[in-house]
Each structure stands twice: as structure tokens, then as C-alpha cells.
Structure 1
């Protein structure tokens, strides 16, 4: 019966047994399973958050409780009996309390528990065996406590654990096989501790681990080159904000699947040439905030898949021309806030996918050694393949504060220190560099034509646009829309727009050159892509927490795109003050559709789609690329009546129908009453007594009474024919009588005596 308890029947006095029926009355009394200061939801979720509790309250009927939230209280101890009746508990939240001790048997009966949150407490340790009964536990938060050391026994029995947070503790070291009992662990957070030493076998048993965060610790070096050897599946490794001064060669050689490596905020002054050996799948490398003054020429050669490289806030003074020679997929490069004064013009020639380059914050010397870089920037800007790059001159004093792309070649004089101009312009630097062998210009994101005719778009781009590869060029409007416009000196260009063109200065009599005949124009502005190609945004399969969004790419004449086009969805609650706090990026070459999940039921949303071209998006989505929707009530359309009450529309229709029936019944009753009145009126008129005047009308022929009739009223009813003449009476008389009764007779039988006799009869 759940929370229903049966009330026992009290014994009645003997005097009442004769008058009380002989049967037992079982009266159910509802007793809430909620402790007094807590709230309950569907008798399965106990919410006791921020109630000022100093101990764990007791639930009356805890068999069906799935979630127990006790966060934000003042609980200091967890005893062995606080949760011993909650055998079906799946989620337990004890965060933000003052817990200092956990009884070793506190969780021994919670064999169904899947999530345990113990973060932001005062736990000094995890006693061995405390968590051993939690065989189904998948998420464990023990962050922001005071744990000093861990052992393998601390996590014994947690074979199903997927995510473990130990950040924000006082850990100073990790011993061998600390996590060996966690074979299914995927995410491990160890940041913001005091770890200075890692044992060689600290990560043994973590063959499936994908995310490891060791940032914010105090490691000065990693001594053992095989320390990350067991992490064959690692995808992300964060070693930022430590005190690392050097990296052992081949330290990451056993991480073939690593995609992101962060070494920022350390004290690295030198990197071995083989420091990144084995990282062929690495896509993002962060080295900002170190003390690097130079990079070995072969340092980045193993990183053939690298897409983003951050070298900002170092002490780099120069770069070898072949530093980025093997980075054919490099898209983002930051060299800002270094000590660079010049760069060779061919430094970026082997990176055809590069579109974001940050060079500001350096002490640039604008002399002839930068002419090669200036020509390369102008050529790539003219094709819309590069965002605005700010190279502000510091030397010579005559050019201080000016930007390199607005200077003329004649202004780039030889260096004042007597150096040569060997980094000057060259034929290869002045013209756009060819694509790297084996990489298609469109698939790599460059969109660079190979020679004057220009290649047709790649098959993937043709499929994306829905047009054949041999389609003709789009209208001139698309070409003009894609043409970049230089900004004012000293003012950065708007993000998301086409960068300025240094190769096309605005001069009188020197118009921009038109594209060569037969070469499809290059569409580089994502706003133009949205305007020309995106269409038919629609929402389908709207549910209570999810919705499917579809759109189409207009089959247009095939232009050349600045790399493969991607899409992102922006969605937020309709009417939000700050729009589009949430967005989803979709993979390249994916189907133009996506399913948004984890929405709120019965809530209006606004969904927009934007195209991403060359890594840039249009700042504001056009109105015709947005759609509104309202999610269904919780449980969907079919179960809306069961989980959130009856359907409001159906209830309204039922009420209207009932009102119509009542109105019809009232009208029928009124009509029936009116008809009944009419029928009864007719019957009453038929059955009512007729007036004497109508019975004896003066208009009827008079009946005479003969002379020989008796002296009673029977004579007036005679049907014999009249014998005498009738006397005329007025119509006011009620009864007609023969006139001979009132006349003086000439015979002996008349006279006064006869009159008195008649008067006497009527007087009676």
C-alpha cells in the first residue's frame, strides 16, 4: 500500500455491540513519506536541499525513493543507519555540507546507487571499503575536500565507474595502481591539487580513459617517459598551470589517439626535438604562457593532423622557415605577445588551411625583411582565405604605429642594423603558394585554384550544394558580395566578415581586377553563403524534450567555397533577454538536419541555423533562417493527460458540449411548459360552464306553451308547436317566458288572482 497504513479498530464497549454491525472497518490513512522539512516529487524524489539540516532525516516509507538530495546543509557525519532503508536509491547528493566522517558501512545497502556526490565537504580521506558495495556506481564526485592520499583500496569494487572527480583536494602524490580497480573509467579530474610526484604505474588499469586533467598542480618534471603508457585511449590531456620546466623526449609516444594537449602556463624554456613524437592524431596544442625563445625546426613534424596551435605569451624571437612546413591542416595559429621582429615570407606557405593568424603584440621592424610576409598576406587576403592580421610597426620610428598591409614596398627600407634582405620578396612568396601534394584545395579548406583555369569544386562540395561539379558560375551579385573591403587603419574588421584586402588597395583609376574567365568565383563570406544557399528551415517531430530541425541547401550554380561548409544551430527560449546562449556545431559533410534534446516541456523556443565558412560565422542569423516552436507537455501528446492532467482543449470542448446540452434542455423545458399552458387553456375553455345568457338567448325562436299546461316549469320544456304570439322583451332579460302568462285574460280564469299566483311561484 506504499504510504497507506491500516488503522486498527478500537474495541467498542459491550453496550454498543448490539447496535454496531458486525464487520471490520479498515480505514486507510495517508502518511507522507517526506520528512517534515523536505519536499517530495511523485514519492520517488526527496528534496532536502538548503534546509539547514544538521543530520540526515528519516523517510517514513523509503522503498521507492530513487533520488535523495541533501546538498547545502550542515551535516557533519554520516552514520551507518542514515541510508540503510533506501535500498532502491539511485542518486545521492551530499554536496556543500560539512561532512568530516563517513561510516564504513554508510553505503553498504545501496547496491543500486549510480551517482554519488560528496563534493565540497571536509573529508580528510576515503577509508578502504567505504565504497566497495557500490557495484553499479557510475559517477563519483569527491572534489573540493581535504583528501591527502589515496590508495587502490579507496576505489575497490567500483568496476562500473565512468567519471571520477578528485579535483580541489590536498593530494601530493599518486602511488602505483591507485586507479587499477576502475577498468571502465572514462573521465578523471585531478586538477587543483598539490601533486608533485607521479609514480610510474599511477595510471595502470585505465585502458579506456579518454580525459585526464592534471592542470593546476606543482609538478616540475615528469620523470618516467612511460607514465602515460597505459592510457592508449586518451583523447584529452591537460597539464596546464604546473611548474614543468622540461619534457622528456617521447613522453607522449604511447598516446596515438590524443587529440588535445595543453601545456600552457608552465616554465618550459626548451623543448626536445622529439617531444611530440607519436602524436599523429593531435589536433590542438596549447603552449601559451611559457618561456620558449625558439622552436626546433623538426619539433612539429610529427603533428600532421594539427589544426590549432597557440604559442602566444612566450619569448620567441625568431622562427625557422620550415617550422610549420608539415602542418598542412593548420587552421589557427597564435604568435601574439612574443618578441618577434621579423618573419620569413615562406613561413606559412605550406599551411593552405590557415585562416586565423594572430601576430599582434610583437616588436615588428617594418623593413625589407617583412616584404615577403606582406606579399603573402596581401595575396591571401585578396582571396578571402585569411582573417584580418594586425602587424603594427614599431621600428623604424618613421613607420611606428602603422600597419604593414597599408605600406608600400618602397617604404620597406633595409634594416638599420645592416642586416640583409634575404627574407625579401621572392617569386614563390609574391604569388599564392600551391597546395600541398595530396590535399585537395577545397577539402583542406583553402579554396586555392591550381593555376589560371581553376579546378572544379570537390565532390563533397558539389554534394553539399546539390549541384553538379561542372555547374557554371553564380551571378555577379554573389561575386560582389564576396569581395572583401579593407577596414580603416587602426580599426579591426568586424568578426565574421570578409577580411580586408591588401592586394586590392582603393586607388583612383585602379579598379579591382575581375576574376579570370571560366574560374568560378570564391564565396568566402558566411553571410553570403547563408543568403544564397540556406533555405527551407523547418521543425519536425516536436516532442516534450526534443525536436528535429531540418533545412535545405539551395541547388545553386557551383561557386568555389572557402573550405568545406559546416552548420551550427542556435536555440534558446523565446523572449530571452540574451539570445542564443546555446548552440550546436554540426560535423562537416553531415546531413542538413539535427535533433535538439534536453529541452523543457511546454516551452516556446526559437531555432536558427547558420552556415560556417572558412571557420567564420555570420554574426546575426537572417529571419528566414529561424523558426519558432513550442514543445509538447511532459510525457508527449499521448500521455499529456496522464502526467499533467487532462488535455485543456479536450476539456474545453467537453465543457462547451455540456453547456450546449444544458441550454437545449432549458429551452425544451420552456417550450414544453408553454405548450402545456396552451393545451390546458383549451381544455379549460371547453369544460367551463356556459353563461345563462348563452343558454337562453333572445335570438333563439320562442317556444309557446299552450293554454292547457300545468302551472309548473315543465311547461317551459314542451316541444309542442307554438300556439300564441310571443311578446317582445329586451335583451337584458335573462329568461324568456310566454307573454300570455303576463297578460290580463279576458276570461273568468284570469284577473288579479292569477298574477299573484305567478309572482308567488317566482318568489319561491
Structure 2
């Protein structure tokens, strides 16, 4: 009875599974045909050539929708009305000309909207009002020419707004009044000529304002920036501003960066920067300034970066920078400076970058104070390299100030007293200078290539290095020494080197040198390459007699070398014993490789913190001899080895395949022989055939029971096991064939297997 009930239950279960398999899967969000979906929440339709917004079948859970880079011209009221969960919408780089006033009516959860680089001519009031949670809005690079206070109504959560690259001509009152949480406002690259007095009303939290690249000619009223109490960056570069009046920025107490570069400023009010106590960066480069009013920079006590380059400055008062105690970077390049006071920069102890190149410097006695100050700060490692290249007098033209002796700084031709050392402008100056010694210096450096340098190149690498080169010695600029053969030093070096002693012109006692930077400058000269091979190089340098100036204690040398162009310079160096010969051989180099080698002095275990750029040479090691033939032989050997290895592998594979076939054949023959022997010994053959393990079991129905009943009738009964014969491989319990329930269960299992096999097919 149990077996009869089990069979219909199994059939019912299989039928239920079959019906479930035929049912369609649950509905999922379907992407439009040209788009891609990611995690069923991000719809990507970027750069697909679309001319209209595609429709998603089940878009309820979409969070981001990217449609950039297509040809969409209009946005209708129904394009996004089913995307209630949308948080980010990208419509950049299309051809959108019109936005329906109700296009974003259902997007109450939208946080980012990108409409940049389209053809929008206006923002219709009320279009953006439903976007109460919008935080980022890009409307840049469109054709918007007018904004009203209603254009951004309802966007109280907006943090960043980009309106740059439009056609705005003016900003009226309270244009951004509703944007109470705005932090970043971009208005650059428009046509703004006029700013209303209350244009920025309501922007009390604004941190960044960019008005560069517009057409403003003046800033009229101080109240224009009054609401911006927390503003930290104000960019006004690239306008046509000609003057700065009194107290224009007096309300910007938090301003840290102010840029007025690229304007036409020729006059500044003495208190133009009043109230900017927190200012750290001031950019005034690229204007028409010829002088700075007294006390102009006095309020800027926290200033760290000041850029006055590319102006027409003729000079400075001695106290021009006296209040800038935190100044770190000062750029005065490309002006009309002829001379400055020696104490001009002494009040800025944090100064480490000073740019003075590109000025028509007159190297006379008025620059002695500047020279002493530069030498003192260089020796302490507090200042980067400063290029002060002489323009006048003609005898010193092209030389650098820090490599001149005090006795060479003669009184000027106009009779000015040297004791004054005032920063007075030259009366002969008639215009700005476009001469740049830094550009000339860099252009004179040759590129590293495997070439042979001539004997005359040694004379161009003097103790002046990248600084000053005596015009009486050579007319060429400084260059790196490139050599692949032995070079001998110029025999005139000892005689010429005598001109470069830096002896004080005030005191007759020779100075005592204790600083390694001074030692490098005063005693080292002419680093040259004498021998270059594939993996070694010999370098030699000169050391002047140390009778004057005097040295304190012994001195060692250190050779620094590294591959040319390495990201981190001089990770390898070699120490030379005290007072040994000024020659060293570097080994274990790579062949056919460019290297940069420098030498410096070590005094009392200390080295100069400034890189030894004055005593360096470049070289290229030789390639290996016969490298071409050796590489060809090595290549042939590698090719032969590969062919031999291939043949060996093929032979091994063939042997393994042969062994596998032999094993299979022997196994097959053995099975055949054993099968014949067993068939001869087995008497009930029909039982072996019915229950052979080589065939699938048949259905255990009523017919099976009948067969077994007939089979057991001519054999003696057994209680536990029905043994067929000694040759039978399988013994069956009697109860297995006599129990009807077991037959029923086996029949049910066979039916289930048949159904599963059917569905699997």
C-alpha cells in the first residue's frame, strides 16, 4: 500500500517542478537597446549616437543615468518622469537647446546635474525648483547671456555651481541669493563687464570665487565683496583692471589667495590690500606696475608667496618687504631692476626661493650688500640658487654676481657713491628687458648622446659651472662634459684659476673657511673625465692651494654619481681619503649608459646641503666590444636549444601516448578473456544478463517478481542469501525479491529517473 501511494506522490512532485520550470522569470529592469546597465541601478548611455532620451521599461530603481556625448537636442517633460529614485544625471556634451519647465519635476532626490557643453541660451525660472536636494550643478560652456534671481530658486542645498564659459555680460542684484550653502562658484571665461553692488548677496558661506578671464576694467565699490566673509580664494586674473582703489578687499578677513595677474594694473592705492591679514598668496605678475606705494604690503603679515614678475618695476624702498616675516617665495624676474639694497630681503627669514633673473642688473658697488647676503644664505643652505646676471658694465656682461669678487664691483659711471648702496633705478633705462639668462643657460646645455668631446670642451666646464664663466677664458656657455676617450686638462687652468679667489676687499686677513659650501666654491674646479670604458670611468678635479683663504681642519672628497635622468638623484657615492690625489675611478657601471658625476668636499663630516651643480660632468660609457656578434651567436644558440627542447618534448609525448594505448589494449584483451571464461562457468545465464552491472537496471515491477519466483522454484530455499552459483558475481537477499514494497520503491525511483532524464534532454 505504501508503494502504491508513493508512486503518485512522486509523479505529482515532478509535475510541479516541471510547471515551475515553464513559468517566466520575475520581471527585472530592462536596459534600452543601445545602453548598458550595471547592478540594475546605473544606466550608461554615453557616446551611443542618441538623438533622444531612451525609455527604460522598469526604471524605478535607477540611481545614475549617463547620457553624455550624444546628439540630444531637447529635453521633454516625460523623459525622466519615471526616474523618481535618480541621484545623478549627466547630459554633458550634447546639443540641448531647450529644457521643458517640467523636465525635472519628478527628480526630487537628484543630487548631481551636469548640463555643461550644450547650447542652452537661458535657464527658465522654475525649471530647477523641484531639485531641492541638488548639490552639484554644471551649466558651463553654454550660451547663457542673462541670469535672474529666479534662475536658481529652490536650490538651497547647492554646494558647487559652474557657470564658466558662457556669455554673461553682467551680474545683477541678488543673483545667487537663494544659494545659502554654496561653497564654489565659477564665473570665469565670460564677458562680465559690470558687477552689481549686491551681486553676491546671500553667499555667506562661499569659499571659492573665480572671476578670471572676463572684461572688467575696474572694481568700483568695496561693498561688492562684503557678503563674502568666509571667502578663501578670489581669482581676478585675465581682466582689464587698471587700478585698485582704497579698501576693495577690506571685508575679506578669511581670504588666503588673491590673484590679479594678467591685468593692466599701473596704479595701486597705498591701502589697496587693507584687511587682508590672512592672505598667504598674492599674484600680481603680468601687469604694468613700475613701483609699489609705501606700506602697500604692510597689512600682509602672513604672506608666504608674492609674485611680481613680468612688470616694469624699477626699484624698491629698503623697507618694502620689512613686514613680510613669513615670506617663502618671491618672484621679481623680468622687471627693470638695476640694483637693490643688500638688506632688502633680510627681514624675511623664511625666504628660500628668490627669482631675480631677467633684469638689467648693473654689477657695481651698489650690489655688494646683495652679494654678501646671497653668499651668507647660500652657505647656510637656506636659499635656492639665485641668478643675478650682469648686464652692465660691458666688462662684466654675462657674468653672475655670486662669482665676482668685491674688487670687481666698481663705482657706477654716473658717479653714485658706493657707500649708499641704494636701490635707485638707472636713469638710462628706457624699457623692459626681455633677456632671460636662465633660458640662455638651459639652451646651452647639450643633450647626452654617445659622442666624443673635443679638447676645447674642458675649458668650458670651469669652477663657475652653471654660474659665472670668465669671458677672457671662453665665449661659449656652460655645458656638460661628454667624453668617450681620455681627455687631458687644459694646462692653463692653474693660471686662470687664480682670478677666482674670493678675498674680502675690506679686511686684509684671509677669511677662514669652515663651511663645505664655501669650500666647494673657493677650492674645487675643473671636474673632468679622463678615461671611459664599458664599466668604469676615471674622473679628475682640481684643488686650489689653501694658503688663502685658510682652511680649518682636514678635508675629504665625495664623488656622487648616478644614471642621467634618474628620479632620485645621487643614490650612489664614494668617499675619497683625506688629502689624497684628486682623482677617482668608478667601477661596476653599466655599458652604453649616460651618467652624471659630481664632486664635493666634506669638512668635519658635513657636506653642503645645496646640490654640487658647479662641479659636475656628464659621460656615456662605451658599449661592449663585439656586442653585435656575441648577441647573434647567443641568439643562434638560444634558437638551437629551443628546437632541441621541442623535439625532446614531442618524443616524450609520443612515448606516453604509446604506453597509454598499450595499457588500454591489454586491459581490453584481459576483459575479453575473463568474460569468455566466466560465461563458460556460469549456468543461469539469464540472471547474469538481467542484472549485469554493464547495463542500466530495468524497472522492478510485478514482472520482475514473477521471474524471480520461477527462478527460485527449482533451487533449494535459503534463509538469508539466495546464492545463484559459485560463478555469479552478485548475491541477492531473498527478501529483496519477495518484498513487494521494495519492488514498489524501486519502481518509483526508476520512474523518477526517467522523468529527470526527460527534462534534462
TM-score range, shorter chain: 0.5 to 0.7
* Aligned partners of 1:175 and 1:199 also within 8 Å: yes
Give the corresponding residue for 1:248: 245
Change over 3 Å in CA distance of 1:503–1:379 after alignment to 2: farther
Q: Distance in 2 between matches of 1:499 and 1:285?
A: 33
- Change in CA separation of 1:505 and 1:376 when aligned onto 2, cut-off 3 Å: farther
1:343-354 alignment runs, 5 A limit: 343-354=340-351
| Pair 25,412 (structure 1): closer, same or farther in 2 beyond 3 Å | closer
Aligned to 2:168: 171
1:196-237 CA distances to partner (integer Å, 9 max, x unpaired)? Answer: 111111111111111100000111111111211111111110
Compute the displacement of 1:393 (Å). Answer: 1.0
Structure 1: tracts of 5 or more residues without a match? 1-20, 427-483, 518-525, 533-556, 564-612, 614-671, 689-764
User: What residue number does 1:35 align with?
Assistant: 32
Q: Which residue of 2 aligns with 1:320?
A: 317
Alignment CA distance shift 1:383-1:129 (3 Å): same
Partner in structure 2 of residue 141 of structure 1: 138
The CA deviation at 1:316 is 0.2
Q: Which residue of 2 aligns with 1:588?
A: none
The correspondence of residues 232-381 of structure 1 with structure 2, limited to 5 A, is 232-381=229-378
User: Who is 1:121 aligned against?
Assistant: 118
Instruction: Give 3-state SS (helix, strand or coil) of 1:164's partner.
Output: strand
How far does residue 26 in structure 1 lie from its aligned partner after superposition?
3.7
Instruction: Map 1:577-726 to 2 at 5 A.
Output: none
Q: Which residue of 2 aligns with 1:92?
A: 89
CA distance in 1, matches of 2:608, 2:408: 35
- The equivalent of 1:415 in structure 2 is 412
Equivalent in the alignment of 1:460 = none
Change (3 A) 1:201 1:270: same
- 1:234-253: CA deviation from partner (whole Å, max 9, x where unpaired): 11100000011111211111
Residue 604 of structure 1 corresponds to none
Does the 8 Å contact 2:204/2:229 carry over to 1? yes
Quote the Cα distance in structure 1 between the aligned partners of 2:285 and 2:316: 16
**Equivalent residue in structure 2 for 1:196, among 193, 196, 212:** 193
Q: Deviations over 1:569-609 (max 9, x none)?
A: xxxxxxxxxxxxxxxxxxxxxxxxxxxxxxxxxxxxxxxxx
Distance 1:149 1:79 in 2: 23
Contact persistence 1:167–1:190 (CA under 8 A): yes
Deviations 1:619-641 (A, max 9, x none): xxxxxxxxxxxxxxxxxxxxxxx
**Does the CA contact (< 8 Å) of 1:200 and 1:224 recur in 2?**
yes
Partner of 1:709: none
TM-score by length of 1: 0.56
1: CA distance between counterparts of 2:29 and 2:174?
A: 47
Which residue is 2:468 aligned to?
489
Task: Give the drift of 1:23.
Answer: 10
Counterpart contact for 1:382–1:503, Cα < 8 Å: no
Cα deviation for residue 322 of structure 1 reads 0.8
Whole-angstrom CA distance in 2 between matches of 1:196 and 1:561: 54
* Structure 2 contact 381–608 (Cα < 8 Å) conserved: no
Structure 1 residues 249 and 559, CA, compared in 2 at 3 Å: closer, same or farther?
farther
| Structure with bigger gyration radius | 1
Q: Residue 517 of structure 2 contacts residue 607 of structure 2 at CA under 8 Å; is this kept in 1?
A: no
In 2, Cα distance between equivalents of 1:223 and 1:130:
34
Map 1:457-536 onto structure 2 (within 5 A).
Answer: 487=466, 489=468, 504=522, 506=524, 508-510=544-546
Distance 1:687 1:219 in 2: 114
The answer as to whether partners of 1:294 and 1:316 remain within 8 angstroms in 2 is yes
Match of 1:566 in 2: none
Q: Aligned in 2, Cα 1:375/1:134: closer, same or farther, shift over 3 Å?
A: same
> For each residue in 1:650-670, what CA deviation from the matched residue of structure 2 results, as whole angstroms up to 9, or x when unmatched?
xxxxxxxxxxxxxxxxxxxxx
CA separation in 1, counterparts of 2:521 and 2:192?
53
Question: Do the aligned residues in 1 keep the contact of 2:231 with 2:255 (CA within 8 Å)?
Answer: yes
- The structure-2 alpha-carbon separation of the partners of 1:367 and 1:219, relative to structure 1 and needing over 3 Å to count, comes to same
Q: Which residue of 1 aligns with 2:577?
A: none
Contact 1:370–1:423 (CA under 8 A) maintained in structure 2: no
Distance in 1 separating the partners of 2:362 and 2:478: 21
Q: Is the 8 A contact 1:368 1:423 kept in 2?
A: no
CA contact (8 A) 1:244 1:268 kept: yes
Corresponding residue pairs, total: 479
Structure 2 residue aligned with 1:159: 156
Question: Cα distance 1:383–1:99, how it changes in 2: closer, same or farther (>3 A)?
Answer: same
Q: Following the alignment from structure 1 to structure 2, what is the Cα–Cα distance between the partners of residues 488 and 23?
A: 88
CA 1:23–1:409 in 2, change beyond 3 Å: closer, same or farther?
closer
Equivalent of residue 180 in structure 1, options 152, 159, 177: 177
Q: Is the 2:517–2:608 contact (alpha carbons within 8 Å) kept by the matching residues of 1?
A: no
**How does 1:34-73 map onto structure 2 within 5 Å?**
34-73=31-70
Q: Unmatched 5+ residue regions in structure 2? A: 1-17, 424-462, 470-476, 481-515, 525-542, 555-566, 574-603, 612-666, 684-761
In structure 2, distance between residues paired with 1:192 and 1:501: 54
Q: 1:493 to 1:137 in 2, by over 3 A?
A: farther
Local SS of the residue matching 1:285: strand
Distance 2:62 2:296 in 1: 57
| Distance of 1:297 and 1:215 partners within structure 2 | 28
Instruction: Classify 1:425/1:274 alpha carbon distance in 2 versus 1 (closer, same or farther; 3 Å).
Output: closer
Identify the structure with the greater helix proportion. 2
Counterpart CA distance in 1 for 2:376 and 2:19 is: 104
Cα distance between partner residues in 2 of 1:236 and 1:361? 30
Segment of structure 1 superposing worse, 63-72 or 22-31: 22-31
Q: Look up the SS of the partner of 1:405 in the other structure.
A: helix
| Shift of residue 286, structure 1, vs aligned partner | 0.4
Q: TM-score, normalised on structure 2?
A: 0.57
SS at 2:268's partner residue?
Answer: coil
Deviation track 1:408-436 (CA, whole Å, cap 9, x = no partner) reads 1111111112222234499xxxxxxxxxx
What is the distance in 2 between the residues matched to 1:251 and 1:161?
A: 28
TM superposition shift of 1:297 = 2.9
Distance 1:333 1:182, change over 3 A: same
Q: State the partner residue of 2:508.
A: none
Q: What SS does the corresponding residue of 1:328 show, helix, strand or coil?
A: coil
1:348-394 Cα deviation digits (max 9, x unpaired): 11111111111111111111111111111111111221111111111
Mapped contact 2:133–2:157 kept (Cα < 8 A): yes
> Judging changes above 3 Å, is the alpha-carbon distance between structure 1 residues 492 and 228 closer, same or farther for their aligned structure 2 residues?
farther
Instruction: Compare relative contact order (CA 8 Å, sep 6+) and give the higher one, 1 or 2.
Output: 2
Change (3 A) 1:199 1:22: closer
1:217: which partner in 2?
A: 214
RMSD over equivalenced CA pairs, Å? 4.1
